[in-house]
Amino acid sequence: MAKPNLLTIVPAKWAGLSAAKPDEGAVNFILHGRDEYAPESIDYVLSFYPPPGLLKTFPNLKAAFSLGAGVDGFLRDPDYPKRVPLVRFADETLSAEMAQFVLMHVLIRHRHQRLFDEAQSKRKWRQMVLPRRTEDTRIGMLGLGEIGSFTAARLMKLGFPVAGWSRTRKTLPGLKSFAGDGELAAFLGQTDILVCLLSLTRKTAGILNAKTFTAMPEGGFVINVARGGHLVEADLIAALDRGQLSGAVLDVFGEEPLPESSPLWSHPKITVTPHIAAISQPAVALKFVLDGIAKFERGERPDNIVDVETAY
């Protein structure tokens, strides 16, 4: 039987992906922009942000694989061929990286590390006690999926009280679960540090907005590691400037790379990182994709097929 053709449409840093082949020979790798190919020869696509309109030109496409946990890069394409199963990358290595990133920033905030950095820069010996105890610092996870629930468990191990908000109610040991639009305000009202790990859908776009920030206790802190589309940037800046929020960590942005002119770069209460909270590792992602292709070829369906209508 002929080997399936896998078209990889990836940024330059991923161009060596096919060199990481864990299962040499299972597929023919075709690199978009480098190799010539006939559209009808493409069986599978692997990408993060494929050019809109491209996938509909592949009449024999059997499935598309996202290099990331989110699929917004595919579904921003109004011509995404809905008959084609879309598989998102999910792996514990990704959840573990994200948990590290979130824990690091929760602790930097909780232990006021930025104040000590500032004091050091002025050669000032400035001792202070924590204004809030760990058991009184309430963390709220917006989103309790693959990554949110993993991260919540790690935060609870550090002694933080953790609650979560999701579409459906969860039963995770030790976690207070809020579900649906009707319970969002109550969830926010008891959240000191808000961590966004929602999928980006029509319903969750713009959820980090003025109303949300006002519903949190004064002096709240926000960490957005999901997608830039969740945040209304102007509302965040206004909430920080009037002291409703005390700080924010942003890893994802409406426009990436974040333009040099963005006020987010220089805001004294914002930490900006360049979408690096959890990066898919090429060898792990590739194994995931090759396993998925093998399943499709056997007539099975792999896990993590996204509902194209709900977008997650």
Q: What is the DSSP string of 122-190?
A: TT-------SS-GGG--EEEE--SHHHHHHHHHHHHTT--EEEEESS----TTPEEEESGGGHHHHHHT
275 is known as an active-site residue:
yes
Residue found by looking up tokens 């808000």 in the block: 194
- Give min distance, CB of 238 to ligand NAP, in A: 24
Residue 30 C-beta: closest distance to ligand NAP, Å: 26
Residue 192 interacts with ligand NAP (CB under 6 A)?
no
- Tell me the three-class secondary structure of 6-32, residue by residue: EEEECCHHHHHHHHHCCCCCCCEEEEC
How many residues sit in the footprint of ligand NAP (CB under 6 A)? 31
Give the integer Cα–Cα distance in Å for 122 and 167: 47
Rounded to whole angstroms, the Cα distance separating 172 from 167 reads 15
32 is catalytic: no
Comparing CA positions, the residue from 244, 202, 248, 247 lying closest to residue 225 is: 248
Which residues, numbered 145-164, are part of the site for ligand NAP (CB under 6 A)? 145-148
Do the beta carbons of residue 221 and residue 194 sit within 8 Å? yes
Stretch that binds ligand NAP, among 14-22, 116-124, 130-138, 219-227 (CB under 6 A): 219-227
- Catalytic: which of 32, 110, 227, 230? 227
251 near ligand NAP, rule: CB under 6 A: yes
Tokens of 223: 């960490």
- Among 10, 106, 198, 258, interactor with ligand NAP by CB under 6 A: 198
Residue among 124, 126, 203, 301 that touches ligand NAP (CB under 6 A):
203
Instruction: Choose which of 4, 50, 140, 143 interacts with ligand NAP (CB under 6 A).
Output: 143
Asked if the bond preceding 257 is cis, omega within 30° of 0, the reply is yes
Q: Counting contacts by CB under 6 A, is residue 176 touching ligand NAP?
A: no
| Residue 242: both structure tokens together | 């009037």
Contact positions with ligand NAP (CB under 6 A) in 46-105: 68-70, 90, 94, 98
Q: Which residues bind ligand NAP (CB under 6 A)?
A: 68-70, 90, 94, 98, 143-148, 166-168, 197-201, 203-204, 225-227, 251-252, 275, 277-278, 312
The catalytic residues are 227, 275
